[in-house]
């Protein structure tokens, strides 16, 4: 089976490696164009491009797949199947219809929940009990195609979006190989999505970062871990921004006002609107490096009763 692989970020690397390790004939890799990264705007290739080139797979970085440009590339590659993992572009209908087995997408949610760009982060932000990966036969809609295989996993209580992202890349690779075995054996049993149960996972942005300490401890805990590693939850201490990473819920530490700081030996606790508290395990003060909050408190003591925000 000749496969064209389409993906861009780190999330798409493990499935590509799984195809290579399992002996599939990957005849080309489509990925987004190189982009400037960092303060010096260094032109940087996407992770999928790096992996493809390391394995002598031809790389294609078209600005668009519209107006027949994508199909022209497929005509030369003659794939039986396209595998799409976080590619980042909408595939036109003529492109979707070209391969014998169409295009299969590996999506980081339990569809039809969290269609869209940020399913992993939204599942943590919303305090979901489970996350997962769905293999889907792509159609012209946004993550609306028939489901081919679903794998669920429980979200751990203190797990960040970054942690879950790493776990789901591995699960995504396993789901892909299982799905391809079903394709090869003619055993696929597509299941239509129930559109009435669908939710949309919009992209994150920096406006979501400020913490409202009047919210419950669970809501704030979900915000901190859901926005880690980007765009990162933050509050204000002495007029400067304080980024918050890796929190946990704490109890039996007394009472305090919303936003009231309580320095502890193992980190910085902050009281929330429901009378409970979150323990901030890592912080980054404006102009400083990210560090354990216990280390931060030794170098920058916070008086008990200080109100953050």
Residues 149 and 273 in one domain: no
185-235 pLDDT, tens per residue?
Answer: 999 999 999 999 999 999 999 999 999 999 999 999 999 999 999 999 999
- For a pLDDT cut of 90, what percent of the chain falls above it? 96
C-beta neighbour count of 40 within 10 angstroms: 6
The average confidence (pLDDT) of the chain is 97
Tens digit of each residue's pLDDT (9 = 90 or more) over 110-159: 999 999 999 999 999 999 999 999 999 999 999 999 999 999 999 999 99
Do 132 and 247 sit in the same domain of this protein? no
State both tokens at 209.
């970062």
Q: Say if residues 195 and 112 touch (Cβ distance below 8 Å).
A: yes
In a domain, 88, yes or no: yes
Domain boundary residue among 201, 223, 258?
A: 201
Average pLDDT over residues 4-29: 98
Looking at the structure, tell me whether residues 153 and 293 fall in a common domain. no
* pLDDT digits 0-9 by tens, 155-168: 999 999 999 999 99
Which CATH number is 85's domain given?
A: 3.40.50.170
State the pTM of this model.
0.95
Q: Which residue has the higher pLDDT, 146 or 90?
A: 146
| pLDDT > 70: percent of the chain | 100
Closest CA to 30 of 68, 54, 4: 4
Domain range holding 174?
2-201
Same domain? 234 vs 146 = no
Give me the pLDDT at residue 19, please.
98
Query: What's the mean pLDDT in 22-35?
Result: 97
- Final residue before a domain boundary, out of 201, 234, 264: 201
Place of tokens 């933050």: 234
Q: Please identify which residue in the block is written with the tokens 């203190």.
A: 158
**Residue 49, pLDDT above cutoff 90:** yes
Structure tokens at 254: 């007394």
**Residue 223, CA atoms < 13 Å, CB-side half-sphere:** 23
Q: How confident is the model at residue 69 (pLDDT cuts 50, 70, 90)?
A: confident
> Is the confidence at residue 246, as pLDDT, over 90?
yes
Cβ neighbours of residue 141 closer than 8 Å, sequence gap 6 or more: none
Asked if residue 306 is part of any domain, the answer here is no
Answer yes or no: do 12 and 118 share one domain: yes
- Residue 39: predicted pLDDT: 84
Cβ proximity of 86 and 8 under 8 Å:
yes
Residue 38 scores a pLDDT above 90? no
The answer to whether residue 238 scores a pLDDT higher than 90 is yes
The answer to whether position 305 is within a domain reads: no
């Amino acid at each position: 089976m000749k496969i064209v692989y389409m993906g861009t970020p780190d999330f798409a690397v493990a499935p590509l490696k799984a195809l290579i390790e399992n002996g599939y004939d990957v005849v080309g890799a489509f990925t987004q164009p190189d982009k400037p990264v960092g303060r010096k705007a260094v032109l940087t290739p996407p992770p999928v491009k790096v992996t493809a080139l390391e394995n002598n797979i031809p790389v294609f970085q078209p600005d668009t797949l519209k107006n027949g440009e994508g199909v022209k590339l497929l005509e030369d590659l003659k794939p039986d199947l396209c595998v799409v993992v976080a590619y980042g572009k909408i595939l036109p209908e003529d492109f979707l219809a070209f391969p014998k087995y169409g295009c299969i997408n590996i999506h980081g949610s339990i569809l039809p929940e969290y269609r869209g760009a940020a399913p992993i982060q939204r599942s943590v932000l919303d305090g979901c009990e489970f996350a997962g990966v769905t293999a889907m036969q792509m159609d012209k809609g946004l993550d609306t195609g028939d489901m081919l295989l679903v794998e669920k996993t429980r979200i751990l209580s203190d797990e960040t979006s970054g942690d879950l992202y790493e776990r789901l890349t591995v699960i995504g690779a396993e789901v892909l190989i299982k799905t391809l075995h079903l394709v090869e054996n003619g055993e696929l049993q597509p299941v239509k999505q129930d559109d009435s149960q669908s939710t949309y996972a919009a992209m994150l942005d920096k406006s979501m970062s400020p913490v409202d300490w009047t919210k419950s401890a669970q809501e704030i805990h979900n915000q901190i871990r859901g926005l880690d590693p980007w765009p990162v939850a933050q509050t204000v201490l002495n007029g400067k921004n304080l980024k918050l990473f890796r929190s946990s819920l704490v109890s039996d530490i007394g009472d305090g006002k919303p936003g009231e700081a309580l320095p502890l030996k193992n980190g910085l606790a902050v009281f929330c609107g429901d009378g409970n508290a979150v323990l901030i395990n890592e912080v980054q003060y404006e102009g400083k490096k990210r560090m354990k909050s216990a280390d931060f408190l030794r170098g920058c003591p916070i008086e008990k009763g200080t109100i953050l925000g």
